[in-house]
Amino acid sequence: MYKEGLLYAFGAYFIWGLFPIYWKLLKHVPATQLLGHRIAWSFILLAVVLSAARKWRELRILASDPKVFRIYFIAALLVGSNWLIYVWSVNAGYIVEASLGYFINPLLSVLLGVLLLRERLRPLQWIAVGLAAVGVGYLTVVHGRLPWIALGLAFTFGFYGLVKKIAPLSPLNGLTLETGILFIPAVFFLAYQEKLGQGAFLHTGLAPDLLMAGAGLVTTVPLLMFASAANRIPLTAIGLMHYITPTCQFLLGVLVYGEAFGSASAFGFGIVWIGLILFATESILNRKKSPSPNFAEEPL
């Protein structure tokens, strides 16, 4: 059971880490259209899975509650924004900066917990958050601009996780409802692009068409793998394995796609990484002292 959970978690995070390769294959397609296809095909695939599991009636009953619908409407806006920023950043040549967003996300999440949920941080956690802030501030100064891609991804991901803390549905039902909320706008947008003669689907070759349709598969499969892992292994293990994704993305950006990463960037990232190491070490030591039965929420 535990080993299976580790394999599911590793598989999910590793697939997410390889996402830049997938989206780079579609770099000729506008990010807005890629977002539309990712939403549309994800919902279609999830609808098939939900039908096979015979859970449509359950979802309809739960989603009819206005409070539940509002929660998932907000979650849908956040996940859609996160997907759009990420796809655009990959194809615009900002994979390294995008990876920074997912490196700092755990620290931002705990800070949001303090600010919005009145949670309390331990002293070493405050130091870790402070180091991340210093690292981001340093990168802002040396590059002459705020790393808005990293912050945009971290904030949308962080708020999404915050919303999911109070979301009552299962991962499958929740993601189906989120993509269902965005489905009609996505289809209308893609139809409008087609009417303008700017649609990419069915106009750029068989391989790109299959990749656009496959966006639903590469979105849902790791999410379902993660959901299976979350039921088998503790939050600590899931939290530490989270860093597989941004590490893979960072290495792809630097080693495969040749994005610039000079000494100034390395110093800024290094400050953030020191904060992350401190945060992870403190979390492990504290978890051993007071074990918790909680499990992780689904990520993007």
**Is 100's pLDDT higher than 90?**
yes
Percentage of residues of the chain with pLDDT beyond 70: 93
What is d(CA 57, CA 249) in angstroms, rounded to the nearest whole number? 39
The predicted-structure confidence for 178-228, as pLDDT tens digits, reads as follows 999 999 999 999 999 999 999 999 988 999 999 999 999 999 998 888 877
| Long-range CB contacts for residues 215-218, cutoff 8 Å, separation at least 24 | 215/34, 215/37, 215/38, 215/41, 215/42, 216/37, 216/38, 216/40, 216/41, 216/42, 216/43, 216/44, 216/45, 216/46, 217/41, 217/45, 218/15, 218/19, 218/22
Q: What is the arithmetic mean of pLDDT over 91-102? A: 94
**Is 296's pLDDT higher than 80?**
no
**Is 49's pLDDT higher than 80?**
yes
pTM of this structure: 0.88
| pLDDT at 4 (0 to 100) | 84
Provide the residue type at 17 as one letter: G
| pLDDT at 158 (0 to 100) | 86
Q: What is the arithmetic mean of pLDDT over 233-260? A: 86
**Is 169's pLDDT higher than 80?**
yes
Question: What is the residue-averaged pLDDT of the chain?
Answer: 88
Percentage of residues of the chain with pLDDT beyond 90: 59
The predicted-structure confidence for 126-146, as pLDDT tens digits, reads as follows 898 899 899 999 999 988 888
DSSP code of 296?
A: P
